[in-house]
Structure 1
Amino acid sequence: MKTYKLTAFDASGEKLLDEAFQAENDHVAKEKGEKLLREKDLIEKTHRCTSSSGKLILFHP
C-alpha cells in the first residue's frame, strides 16, 4: 500500500482539506480521492492528490 495526500483549497487559498490515505495503486487512489471530495462537497474546489513520491494523481484548478 502506498500513501497519498489529498488537499483542497477555497478561492482565498484557505486549506479546506488536508488528508492522507492508503491505496494499492494510483488508479485506486484517484477513485478514493474523488470519493472523499464528493463526500465532503469539495469536488468543485481547487484540489490535488499526490503520491508519496510526489506524482500528481488528481488535480482541479
Structure 2
Amino acid sequence: MGKYMLTAFSKSGETLLDESFEAASEKEAKELGEKRLQELNLLDTTHRCTNASGKLVLFHR
C-alpha cells in the first residue's frame, strides 16, 4: 500500500481539503481521490493527488 495526499483549493488559493490516504496502486488512488472529492462536492475545484514521492496521480485546474 502506498501513501497518497489529496488537496483541493478555492479560486482564491485557500486550501479546502488536505488529507492523506492509502491505496494499493496509482489507479486505485485516482479513483479513491475522485470519489472523496465528489463526496465533498469539490470535483470542480482545483485539486491534485500525489504519491509519497510527489508524482501527480490526479490533477484538475
Tell me the SS of whatever aligns to 2:17.
strand
Count of matched residue positions in the alignment of Structure 1 and Structure 2:
61
* CA RMSD between the two structures: 0.3
Tell me the SS of whatever aligns to 2:21.
strand
- Corresponding residue for residue 25 of structure 1: 25
- Corresponding residue for residue 10 of structure 1: 10
1:60 aligns with 2:55: no
Percent sequence identity over aligned pairs: 59
Scaled by the length of structure 2, the TM-score of the pair is 0.98
Which amino acid letter does the alignment assign opposite residue 35 of structure 1?
Answer: K
Taking the aligned partners of 1:7 and 1:15, their CA distance within structure 2 comes to 7
Which amino acid letter does the alignment assign opposite residue 12 of structure 2?
Answer: S
Gaps of 5+ in 2: none
Tell me the SS of whatever aligns to 2:43.
coil
Deviations 1:18-57 (A, max 9, x none): 0000000100000000000000000000000000011100
